[in-house]
């Protein structure tokens, strides 16, 4: 297949690389061309815009930062994508925007899917991402080979917007898990325990979580490089809270996480990985 891929950041770069390795023709665009240098060296072709990338594509994929970025990229896709082209947004974005774009894409004869992912930089590198999809079942099946090149756990959640809603549920679970991880480490340290030994014990018992297994070791090393940016996680939490307001749903744990992560951003750590929440509790040596 000829695939347009827009957004080659921390995760998108690896995802596009897996599509190349699977034998697809990949045309890339990103705002900073240097971020696509490795992909271009591996055989991807460069396009000057999302619209140019989508010309003659069998599938056009966006993996960008924010809902307004998605809307801008899809404006380009919709100008040039031919009928029958899969249009797939893998950004964590707004469910209402996903539904709006699905209507516009369908009107042009394109096949829209919202397919946000979970698994961070490691999942993207190892092609083990969880991919949560919203859209028509037939379109999902057509896109399945692409998803299987990038991820391991792939599921259709419902119609347009359902993938985004599932991803927001995922982020709600992660938000509470990140607070639990940071507070467990802070408690252990305050009581003079060996943090490596504590982490080994917790990871093997009922308290084990993705955050403990994957991010707590980075915290203990003082590694706050982004596998997933704090600023993007704050965006995701905000999207979830928007849906909660629309549904008149109160989630106190999510609201607490929103306040704590706002403190992380205020401290200047918005470009760090989400594990930087631990820095709010204690300075890692």
Tokens describing residue 273 = 């990985």
State the pLDDT at residue 31.
Answer: 92
Radius of gyration of the chain (CA): 19
Report whether pLDDT(70) > 90. Answer: yes
Report whether pLDDT(28) > 50. Answer: yes
| pTM beyond cutoff 0.85 | yes
- Any idea which residues carry the catalytic annotation? 167
CATH value of 2-159 in 3.40.50.1980, 3.40.718.10, 3.40.50.2000, 3.40.50.720: 3.40.50.720
d(CA 260, CA 252): 12
State the pLDDT at residue 285.
Answer: 44
**Confidence band of 284 (pLDDT split at 50, 70, 90):** low
DSSP label at 112? E
Mean pLDDT of the chain: 96
CATH 1.10.1040.10 fits 165-280, yes or no: yes
The per-residue pLDDT for range 39-60, each reduced to its tens digit, is 999 999 999 999 999 999 999 9
Pairing status of strand 117-118 against strand 86-89: unpaired
Q: What is the DSSP string of 222-243?
A: T----SSBHHHHHHHHHHHHHH
State the pLDDT at residue 282.
Answer: 78
Residues of the chain with CATH 3.40.50.720: 2-159
Residues of the chain with CATH 1.10.1040.10: 165-280
């Amino acid at each position: 297949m000829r695939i347009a891929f827009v957004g080659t950041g921390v995760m998108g770069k690896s995802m596009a690389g897996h599509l190349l390795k699977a034998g697809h023709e990949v045309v890339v665009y990103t705002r900073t061309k240097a971020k696509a240098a490795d992909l271009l060296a591996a055989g991807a072709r460069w396009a000057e815009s999302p619209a140019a990338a989508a010309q003659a594509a069998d599938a056009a994929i966006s993996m960008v930062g924010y809902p307004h970025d998605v809307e801008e990229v899809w404006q380009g896709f919709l100008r040039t994508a031919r009928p029958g082209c899969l249009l797939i947004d893998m950004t964590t974005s707004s469910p209402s925007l996903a539904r709006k774009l699905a209507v516009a894409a369908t009107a042009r004869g394109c096949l829209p899917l919202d397919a946000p992912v979970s698994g961070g930089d490691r999942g993207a590198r190892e092609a083990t991402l969880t991919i949560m999809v919203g859209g028509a079942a037939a379109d999902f099946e057509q896109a399945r080979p692409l998803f299987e090149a990038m991820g391991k756990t792939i599921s259709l959640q419902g119609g347009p917007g359902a993938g985004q809603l599932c991803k927001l549920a995922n982020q709600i679970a992660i938000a509470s898990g990140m607070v639990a991880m940071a507070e467990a480490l802070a408690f252990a340290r305050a009581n003079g325990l060996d943090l490596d030994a504590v982490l080994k014990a917790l990871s093997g018992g009922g308290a084990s979580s993705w955050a403990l297994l994957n991010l707590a070791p980075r915290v203990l090393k003082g590694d706050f490089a982004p596998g997933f940016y704090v600023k993007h996680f704050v965006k995701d939490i905000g999207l979830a809270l928007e849906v909660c307001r629309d549904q008149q749903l109160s989630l106190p744990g999510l609201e607490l996480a929103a306040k704590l992560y706002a403190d992380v951003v205020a401290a200047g750590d918005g470009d760090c990985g989400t594990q930087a929440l631990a820095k709010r509790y204690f300075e890692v040596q």
